[in-house]
Chains A and B, each alone.
Chain A
């Protein structure tokens, strides 16, 4: 089965397309080969999980185009090579956590969440967009999600890829890891969860978290605050999370869906966040609790 990346701007349509592509990839044996039948318009959530899956399973994908070469698909560039990234060159970025000690893992992910927002801002050539969004939106979106990878994922690899489209003043950030996923993380922490969907529903609806503090459970705030910040009429954005065979999507148009993935499962967690140029400067503190 070949892969298809169409031209839809609708993030929910692209999530559906991604699930179809992951299903196609999962039918290919490790070390196998596939190709793109269509590449209309590449966006982070369309391509990053494919890159990660192909890398993890040593799958060769033919018919890649020059844009995919420029973003170093599928291998990506390592966080240690951040200094090579220029203003017209913003590749898939990978934090290899495989052989790192606990301190080494934390160091790599700390570096990612400190440096990546600066790199992303440097690659956005629209001062009005940057002024209105400010530093804090980038820091908040990236740091909360990287912190979840650091605290809960037990991942060997973490990836991030972002794009800014000047034509419609919008930005999309996709992060993912190949760790244990939300369900297993909560289960390991002794929480009462039955499967991927149950775990995700409890994270979204009840703010269930794997965190403990002084012997009692803590409620999670990272995803909640991220949703608050994105799904409003300032950033006009969207948020999506996929873990195992469950997903959740919300946007500022009132679409709010849990998603059941059939015949495919992501080992780890995928996060996609998108937003547009706000009408005025965004105060992130209005959206945090």
Chain B
């Protein structure tokens, strides 16, 4: 790491072991954007879980940031979620995979 890199330990930065929401990602993006360095290293050490919302928000902004952003020390679970949110047409197991199935739902009045 050079003096022109910024290292952000996410567990310490946000005092959490799970990165769970879009607001946290937005805050992180602001911090990256306001930094004067060319390269930012996001260190996921001790992060147990990252939600789809967090990673979706983060990843959607990265292409618009004129810096190199590196992600390091992701555990297997966080890495899997990170890869998953970057696959826009991924199919998942679902009881109702299309909107037509919902039209079969019976309307109840309570």
Contacts and interface: CB of A to CB of B under 8 A. Distances in A.
B95 A232 contact: yes
B106 A135 contact: no
Given A260-B109, A261-B110, A262-B109, A250 B95 contact: yes
A12 B60 CA distance: 38
B9 interface: no
Interface residues of B, number: 40
Contacts of B84: 285, 288-289
A15 to B, nearest CB: 7
Contacts of B91: 289
B86 to A, nearest CB: 12
Contact of B20 (A146, A214, A247, A254): A146
A244 to B, nearest CB: 13
B87 to A, nearest CB: 8
A135 B48 contact: yes
A258 B108 CA distance: 6
A151 B23 contact: yes
Interface in B1-33: 14, 16-18, 20-24, 27
A213 B84 CA distance: 19
Nearest to B24: A110
Interface of A: 15-16, 19-20, 106, 109-111, 113-114, 117-118, 135-136, 139-140, 143-144, 146-147, 150-151, 201, 204-206, 213-214, 221-222, 224-225, 227-228, 231-232, 247, 250, 252, 254, 256-262, 285-289
